[in-house]
Amino acid sequence: MNGNEAYGTLETIDGRPALRFTLEVPYPVERVWQAVSDPAELQEFFPGAAPWGPETGEELDLGGMTLTVHEATAPKRLAWTFADQPQSFDLAPTAEGTRLTFTHVIDDLPAAQTATGWQTYLSRLEPHLAGRPMSEEEAHRPWRAIHEGYAAKFGVDPEPGRQWADQNLPDSAR
């Protein structure tokens, strides 16, 4: 995955806007499942990793908001809803490893900023699997270039994302 290349897509799922990311990782599906389902591993590359089992039907109160696991079918699918927004990891074995598809129904979230954030975090998965963790700071360095690509790709005003970056990114990513 090239941090400067936009690879997420903006789609419509059940009439709602959604972002979808597909990654090919050179690791067996069982290893990738462990990384996306084990809270201790998930927190190494994914924001707000939940302390889940995960188990189908599980509900967690996360600071007044509920996370509900709708499906936990190892090692194929993990689907949940948080803040009324469905999210999921779908895993499929390939000849070279695993195809991971992450989907997030975003509703009124800014598409370019949200896509950039997810690409930034998902870029940390393969280094994690390789035993070479990537820091958030390192992952965020190409944030601006990625964001500009998504804003152009999705046909949205890049200015709100630029302002967000000015206020929130670490100095090394500015």
Domain layout of the chain by residue ranges: 9-136
- Is the dihedral angle over the CA atoms 91, 18, 50, 55 positive or is it negative? negative
Res. 4: pLDDT tops 70: no
Any idea what DSSP says for residue 5? Answer: S
Res. 3: pLDDT tops 70: no
Which pLDDT tens digit goes with each residue over 19-42? Answer: 999 999 999 999 999 999 999 999
pTM value? Answer: 0.93
Of 10, 54, 21, nearest in space to 125 by CA: 21
Q: What CATH number has the domain spanning 9-136? A: 3.30.530.20
Of 87, 88, 68, 67, nearest in space to 76 by CA: 88
Res. 1: pLDDT tops 50: no
Q: What is the mean pLDDT of residues 122-140?
A: 94
Q: Six-digit token pair at 168?
A: 């929130």
- What pLDDT was estimated at residue 24? 95
Of 122, 124, 129, 169, nearest in space to 145 by CA: 169
Which pLDDT tens digit goes with each residue over 76-95? Answer: 999 999 999 999 999 999 99
